[in-house]
Structure 1
Amino acid sequence: MIARYSDIIRNGLWTNNPGLVQLLGLCPLLAVTGTAVNGLGLGIATTLILMTSNATVSLVRHVVPNEVRLPVFVLIIASFVTTIEMLMKAFYFDLYLVLGIFIPLIVTNCSVIGRAEAFASKEPIDRAIIDGLMMGLGFTMALVLLGGMRELLGQGTLFAQAELMFGQYAQSFTIVVFEEYRGFLLAILPPGAFIGLGLLIALKNTIDKYSAKRPITQPIVWTKTTEETAKPLA
């Protein structure tokens, strides 16, 4: 049965979010989210790889023998990761230096190979691309939220070093929330990443629980009363 677009969008962004529900790809999610910009850069790279690898896997799904499908999927993903890495070195070298080893490690990201195996290998290319886009956006959302939270608590700023992605004119993008802030060191250390992720997961679960308890309002259907139907004709 072919997946519906609405289900694909809902799963990627919320119901089956890779970072907040599946808890896949936690190494880069926890390691590079010291700032919101770092999370955004890694999220965009992961989204591009998810889309391109899903599309390619969907195209070759009827050609690749079942016995060798996983090595072929990994080869496809590695090819696109190498391409993205080379593009980042050429155009976003400073950001690449910050993200470091976590760009090539996207090859081993469980969310990427998981979507190739669980979805793209069974669905047509249009739905495979949408699935990659939505899963990538959901993962990017988790990265940016966690990075923004840690940056705000650790440095008192938001979108610091935006010039790494958008050029020198983006230095003005930095928002100083707390003036003369000394910083909260725990927030930018590895334990702060685990605590922040746990808080985000708890927030999502609370929202889901509240939404499940909220009563569903039934539409009001107006009908003619007995008096109205009994009126004599003029």
Structure 2
Amino acid sequence: MAEKGYGSLIGDGLWSNNQALVAMLGLCPLLAVTTTATNGLGMGLATTTVLVLSNATISLIRNLVRPEVRLPVFVLVIASFVTTVELTMQAAFYELYLVLGLFIPLIVTNCAIIGRAEAYASKARLDKAIVDGLAMGIGFSLVLMVLGGMRELLGQGTLFHQAELLLGEGARGFGLDLGPDFQGALLAILPPGAFIGLGFLIALKNIIDKRAARLKRAAAARRDLPEQDAAQPAPG
């Protein structure tokens, strides 16, 4: 397998192969916990931590694991790190852990993590596996946070409400509040609102990608015109 460069790995994780907007993986936590930006960011950081640690471990043991048992071994590695993250959140971010609830242990079943382990980490060297896990995790976290922020702002009129659960007491006044008179859209904080919001994000990405492709083709055509003119014989 030809290994990608660091720039390509980062671009894939953040945009081109974003696990939420392109691969459509990890939709269970994506749609369930994104009622606020704080919840989305907390789940994203937990997922990113597991992605980086599991990618690194699987890259280190890739030559020691027989192909017949690779998937059970990968799941065991991921489950070990999920348990570590869960216990850490119980100790350090207990109130946020109560909010996220069952979805922390369910990171084990996140197809984005097992997918990166199988598709990339099991074939790549350590540094590339770590960069891949970090980029994919950050890309997934950004979608969680943006979707959570959209739903929270439209539904409750707040942004990063209860940020202190994740960032500490210093962030208690960090959030935005539109006031008690704000009439929010109930649909935004209900499950259908998550599907609609994700659909808008996917549509926006597709629009940006198509526009970028048109601009790239137009730039290439402008570069080709002088070469074509130079190749034509001079009149007379």
Partner of 1:32: 33
Partner of 1:196: 197
Shift of 1:177: 3.8
CA deviation map 1:55-101 (0-9, x unaligned): 00000000000000000000000000000000000000000000000
SS at match of 1:197: helix
CA deviation map 1:120-174 (0-9, x unaligned): 0000000000000000000001001100000010011111110111222311011
SS at match of 2:173: helix
Letter in 2 for 1:208: D
- Aligned equivalents of 1:166 and 1:135: distance in 2? 22
Partner of 1:216: 219
Partner of 2:231: none
Shift of 1:179: 5.9
| Residues 15-164 of structure 1 mapped to structure 2, 5 A cutoff | 15-164=16-165
Aligned structure 1 segments of 4 or more residues deviating by more than 6 angstroms? none
Letter in 1 for 2:85: I
Task: Report the count of equivalent residues.
Answer: 219
CA deviation map 1:177-209 (0-9, x unaligned): 466202110000000000000000000000001
SS at match of 1:216: helix
Larger Cα-atom Rg: 1
- Aligned equivalents of 2:44 and 2:167: distance in 1? 15
Shift of 1:103: 0.4
- Aligned equivalents of 1:70 and 1:40: distance in 2? 28
SS at match of 2:101: helix
Larger deviation: 171-180 or 28-37? 171-180
Superposition TM-score, scaled by structure 2 size: 0.90
- Aligned equivalents of 2:166 and 2:3: distance in 1? 37
- Aligned equivalents of 1:123 and 1:81: distance in 2? 22
CA deviation map 1:23-63 (0-9, x unaligned): 00000000000000000000000000000000000000000
- Aligned equivalents of 1:108 and 1:198: distance in 2? 23
State the Cα RMSD in Å: 1.2
CA deviation map 1:200-219 (0-9, x unaligned): 00000000011000132778
Letter in 1 for 2:64: V
Structure 2 spans left out of the alignment, 5+ residues: 224-236
Letter in 2 for 1:64: V
Letter in 2 for 1:140: S
Superposition TM-score, scaled by structure 1 size: 0.91
Structure 1 spans left out of the alignment, 5+ residues: 220-234
Percent identity among equivalent residues? 63
SS at match of 1:172: coil
